[in-house]
Structure 1
Amino acid sequence: MRLIEAVRDGLREELEADSGVFLIGQDIGLNGGVFRVTEGLIEEYGPSRVIDSPLAESGIVGVAIGAAMNGMRPVVEIQFADFIFPAFNQVVSEAARMYYRTNGEYSVPLVIRAPYGGGVRGGLYHSQSVEAYFAHVPGLKVVVPSSPYESKGLLKAAIRDDNPVLFFEHKLAYNTVRGEVPEGDYTVPIGEAAVKREGEQLSLISYGLSVHHCLEAAETLSVEGISCEVVDLRTVRPLDTDTLLESVKKTGRACIAHEDNLTGGVGGEVA
C-alpha cells in the first residue's frame, strides 16, 4: 500500500467509527485535496463531514478549535505546511494552551494534517519543513510518520487523542513509499520511536522520508563492514529519549539526519 492510501484509509475508518469526526480544508471535498489524499470521501460521507473551506487558514483552524471544544473531532488539512503560518496564532495561542488556561475544563481534540518537505520541485513556498516551530510549544504533539503502517496507525491515534496533534506527511513519500498495512483496526502509540534496523557501530537517527535515506545508507555501509542502527523518531514531540539513549549507548556513536534547517531544529534537540 502507498503512504497516501494508508492516510486515506485511516481517515475513512475514523469517519466511519465516530460521527463526531469531520474533515475540513481547501479543496478536500470535490477535488479530493491538492494531492488527492481525501479523494472519494465526500461521496461516502457528504459535504457536512468533508467540508470545502475558504482559503483562510486562520479561519479553518479557528472553526476547528471551536468544534473540538464542543465535542467534535475535526481533522484539518492545510494544503501545504508552508501555508500554516496564517493559523500560527490559533494553533499556538489557542489550541495548544486551551487545556491549561481552562484548568482542564476544555480540551481540543484536533488534528492538523499538512504535507511538508521538498523534492517535488515546489519552490520556496511548497517545500518547507515546519515541524520545529511547533515542537517548541507546550500542549502540542508533533507526529511525522515514515511508512504507510505508521501513517495509518499514528493518524488514528492522533484523531482519538484528546489534545491537539500536528501531523506532517512528506509529500514526496505519498506515492513513492510503499509498505504492508495490516487489516482491521490498529493504532501506533504517539511518543514511541522505532528501531527500523538493528546495528552495533553507529546510530542513524531520523524521521519522515529521511528515514528511508538512512536505511539506504545503512545498507551501503554494511557492504564496507560498518553496522548501523536506524532509529525512526516517528514523533518529534514528545521525543522518545529512552529509545534514543538505549541505541546510542549500544553503538557509541550518533548521526542525525533530517530535512529541516540545520540550526534550532529537531536534530539539535536530539543531539
Structure 2
Amino acid sequence: MTTPESAPDPDTGHESEADTGDSDSTDAEVDRIREAFAREAFDVTPGPVPLEAVRRAGRSLRRRRTATFSALSVVAAATAVAAVVAVTYTGPSLPTPAQAAAPPATVTPQVPPPTSRATPTRTAARTPTPVRVVASGERVDAGKGWKIWLTSQGKHWTGPDGYENTRSVTDGNVDTAAPGVSHQSESSAAGGFHSGLYYGTRAVGRVELTGSGGGRTTATLLELPGRPGWGVWYAHTGPSGGEASVAMYDRAGELLTNLPG
C-alpha cells in the first residue's frame, strides 16, 4: 500500500519527494538572501530631503504658469479691442509702429526773402525764319510782279517792268568771311520792295527791316543747296515813308550785323 507522501506524481508518474526537498531548500536560500539585504539596508543612512529646492521649483513652476496665462489674456484682450476699432474707427489712418517710433520731422519755416529790386526777365528769342533752298536759276515769285533767282554769281531779280538787275558775290565787293547784309529797294505809292544779300554765317536766324516809324518786317530767306555761306532776303513794306534799317540775327536771336537806313 502506497502512502500519500510517496504517491506518484499524476503528470509524470514518478514520486515527488525529491521535488519537495528541492523546493524547501530554495525557499530557505531566498529567506537568507532577503535577510542579508535587510541587514545592509539598515546600515544605510538616508540623506535629508531637499525641501527648500522642492519649494523653489514649485514656486517657479507656478510663476511660469501665471505669466503664460496673463500673456494669453492680454493677447486675447488686445485682439478683441483691435477688432472693435477696425469695425468702428472711421477717422484718419493710424501710424504704423515704424512711423510711431520715428522721430518727428523737422519743419523749416519758409521765410520770405527781403524786398529787393526785381530781376528783369529775358525776352524769349523769336522763332528762326526757315530758309528756303532753291536750285540755281530757279525763279521765285516774290509777289506783286517781282521775281528773284540765285546763281553761283549772286542775286538776280526783275520788277513789274521786266528790267533785270544783278548783285554779285564774286566781284570782290562782298566779304563772306564776316557777317553782313546788303540792301536794294524800290518804292512806289503802292508800297516798297526790299531785297539784298546776307552772308558770313551758316546760322542765320532771321533778317528784319525796321522802318522810320518803328515798324518791323521779317524777310523771306533764300539759299542755294550746300549752304554756301550766303543767301538772299526779300520783303514788302507799305507806302514809302522813309529809309529802313536792316538787321541780321542768328538762330539764338543774337544780333550779327546791322545796316542803318
TM-score normalised per structure 2: 0.23
**Between Structure 1 and Structure 2, whose CA radius of gyration is higher?**
2
Is the strand fraction higher in 1 or 2?
Answer: 2
Is the helix fraction higher in 1 or 2?
Answer: 1
TM-score normalised per structure 1: 0.23
